Amino acid sequence: MDNMRFNTIAGWTLFAFIALLGISIVTDEVFLPEKPEKQAYVVEGVVEEAAATDAAPAEAEKPIAFYLASASAEKGEAVFKKCGACHNADKGGANGIGPNLYGIVGSAHAERAGFAYSEALTAMKGKPWSWDELNAWLKSPKTYAAGTKMAFAGIAKPEDRAAVLVWLNSKSDKPLPLPAAPAEEAAAPPADAATAGNDAAAGNEAAAGNEAEAEPAAK
Ligand code: HEC
């Protein structure tokens, strides 16, 4: 009898081990395929983030005053290395392939003594080199003045344009004050309208320009 009972217990114990083994195999099979499913959710998250990053460059460029506010002259000096083959910005410096640029910010187009300008730039002679004009010129010289002999593709990043302009502005007997527009840009539209109303007609134009640029950014 005792022997029989032992056999019975041993048999059930063995069965239990086999059953446990079986369950662990089955659960492995059940749970393993779930892991990739969870990763698939993670990938969805990554895709969303990528979409958000893609949207950033599509934003409309802000007015140059916005970038000027945080531009560093030190960085600008580094950016000017792109210009150095043709220009210098030293006081009394000679013209090279391009004219000397000392005091260019706030001065006028095509008025450097002893430099033979292209017809394209000569046609703009005397027009002020404002921050906005210089920004447009440096973004794409060819677009700004078709037929210019400044063989330079332009600076794509508004931050780099702002930096080189702030540095050039320091190379002057009478540096211009930085434009005050960034506060308007950051403020709510009603504040913009109030400020523009106090300004001359030019102020209104600038405000209208800001609105036009803000619309595509909202999409
Ligand atoms: C490959 C040579 C070259 C490079 C590089 C170059 N420029 Fe010029 N730049 C010229 C020439 C040539 C002119 C005269 C353009 C004309 O007459 O059409 C000019 C004209 C200008 C003017 C107008 C000057 C005036 O008297 O009205 C400015 C401002 C200027 N360059 C700034 C820059 C800056 C800033 C850079 C660098 C980001 C740069 N240029 C890079 C050759 C160059």
pLDDT greater at residue 41 or residue 51: 41
pLDDT above 90 covers a percentage of the chain that reads 54
Closest Cα to atom 28, ligand 1: which residue? 101
For a mutational test of ligand 1's pocket, the pick from 125, 150, 171, i.e. the residue with the most ligand atoms closer than 8 A to its C-beta, is: 150
Give the pLDDT score at 160. 98
Superfamily of domain 64-178: Cytochrome c-like domain (1.10.760.10)
CB atoms within 10 A of CB 35: 9
The CA 73 to ligand 1 mean position distance, Å, reads 19
Residue position matching structure tokens 């531009």? 71
Average pLDDT over residues 111-122: 98
Give 128 or 49, the one with higher predicted confidence: 128
Task: Enumerate the domain spans of the chain.
Answer: 2-58, 64-178
Supply the mean pLDDT for the chain: 80
User: With a 6 A CB cut-off, is 164 part of the ligand 1 pocket?
Assistant: yes
Kindly calculate the radius of gyration of the chain based on its CA atoms and give it in whole angstroms: 34
Mutation choice for ligand 1 from 86, 109, 122, 165, CB with most ligand atoms inside 8 A:
86
Q: Average pLDDT of 9-14?
A: 87
Q: What's the gap in Å between 96 CA and the centre of ligand 1?
A: 10
Q: Where are the alpha helices (DSSP H) in 32-157?
A: 34-58, 64-68, 73-79, 119-122, 131-139, 141-144
Query: Distance from first CA to last CA of the chain, Å, rounded?
Result: 87
pLDDT at 23: 78
Is 75 touching ligand 1 by the criterion CB < 6 Å? no
**Closest residue (by CA) to atom 17 of ligand 1?**
117
pLDDT 10s digits, 36-47: 555 555 555 444
* Residue 103 CB less than 6 A away from ligand 1: no
pLDDT tens, position by position, 155-213: 999 999 999 999 999 999 999 999 986 555 454 454 444 444 444 444 444 444 444 44
- Whether pTM > 0.95 for this model: the answer is no
Residues counted in the chain: 219
